[in-house]
Amino acid sequence: MKHPVRHPRNKTRNEAIREKVKPLVSVLILAVMLVSLYVSSYIPFDRYVSKQIATFNAIGTGRGTNGTNAIPSEEGKGKAIGTGKVINTGSSKANQAVRTDDTDKAGTKGDHYGYLQPQVVDGFSEEPIQGATVVIPEINQKFVTAEDGYTAAIRIPIQEDAHFEKIEPKPWSEVTILVYCPDYIEYALFQAHVWESQSRKGPKILLFPKEKGKENEPFGVVEGPHRIWIKELVEKYRPKK
């Protein structure tokens, strides 16, 4: 005996609820998969820097991080990052003709470089300052900020800190940044970090207007060492009981 065909309107309540829930379950499963993928691929900055410091120390001592000899490969050395071309780090205006000199002319014996792209802003409003002059004494070059406050990407030769070479080598290089702008107090940033083969968007430099009737001495700032390096230095020389 044939069963009567059930009309769509005669669906049970459970079937109706199941059909409404199915899309929500699918979306939930997809969201869980995307979050899991993101979490598994994300590398915390501290872990990345710690690994970089460990690798740098291993190369400096001639030992690999797994106990084997670490022999840096010459393949690719001085390529791409050392070609002398300016890297586009996101500011098209700052990467146009705002440089007054070419960093490729900076004399250096090394083939290792890092990049900086300082931004100059007003100290009160934090609005970008156009036309500020940024000077890097280590390479004897000057740069002019664009409308967004950024200079072009500046190529910096990587030089090891000789003072800490035998104490606790630093995995970064350091430069001085001097900033000049009419009606603003001169700014000097010392020991600005430059990492090999990396392009740093910054540092962000805050200029403050000059006050009439005051001396307005240059504003000096020192960028401190990375906290992971400080921790390793302290632990390395901790007195033994």
Kindly tell me if the per-residue pLDDT of 163 is higher than 70: yes
Does residue 173 lie in a domain region?
yes
Tell me which DSSP letter residue 83 carries.
Answer: S
Range from 139-148, 161-170, 225-234 carrying the lowest mean pLDDT: 161-170
pTM: 0.57
93 & 196 share domain: yes
Note the pLDDT of residue 61: 41
Q: Are residues 34 and 97 in the same domain?
A: no
Pick the more confident residue, 12 or 11: 12
Kindly state whether residue 204 falls inside one of the protein's structural domains: yes
Q: Are residues 116 and 221 in the same domain?
A: yes
Per 3-state DSSP, what percentage of the chain is helix, strand, and coil (rounded to 5)? 30, 20, 50
Whether pLDDT at 139 is above 60: yes
Residues 95 and 203 in one domain: yes
- Please indicate, yes or no, whether residues 34 and 147 belong to a single structural domain of this protein: no
Q: What is the mean pLDDT of residues 163-177?
A: 91
Domain check: are 21 and 90 in the same one? Answer: no
Q: Are residues 92 and 31 in the same domain?
A: no
Assigned domain for 106 exists: yes
Determine, yes or no, domain membership for 234. Answer: no
Instruction: Count the domains in the chain.
Output: 2
Confidence of residue 11 (pLDDT cuts 50, 70, 90): low
Do 208 and 144 reside in the same domain of the chain? yes
- 159-163, 164-168, 222-226: range with highest mean pLDDT: 222-226
Model confidence over 189-221: pLDDT tens digits? 999 999 998 999 999 999 999 999 888 999 999
pLDDT in tens, 63-83: 443 433 333 333 333 333 333
The answer as to whether 75 is a domain residue is no
Do 34 and 121 share a domain, yes or no?
no
Give the model's pLDDT for residue 80: 31
Residues 93 and 198 in one domain: yes
Full residue range of the structural domain in which residue 19 is found: 8-41
In a domain, 55, yes or no: no
The pLDDT of 20-34, averaged and rounded, is 75
Q: Is residue 49 part of a domain?
A: no
Q: List, as one string, the DSSP characters of 81-128.
A: GGS-PPP--S-TTTTSTTBSS-GGGS--S---EEEE--EEEETTT--B
pLDDT band at 180 (very low <50, low <70, confident <90, very high): very high
What are residue 197's phi and psi, to 5 degrees?
Answer: 60, 25
Which tens digit of pLDDT belongs to each residue from 90-114?
344 444 434 444 444 444 445 799 9
For residue 78, tell me if it sits in a domain.
no
Residue predicted with more confidence, 30 or 89: 30
Residue 54 in this model has a pLDDT that exceeds 60? no
Beta-sheet pairing, 204-207 with 119-122: parallel
CATH number for position 145: 2.60.40.1120
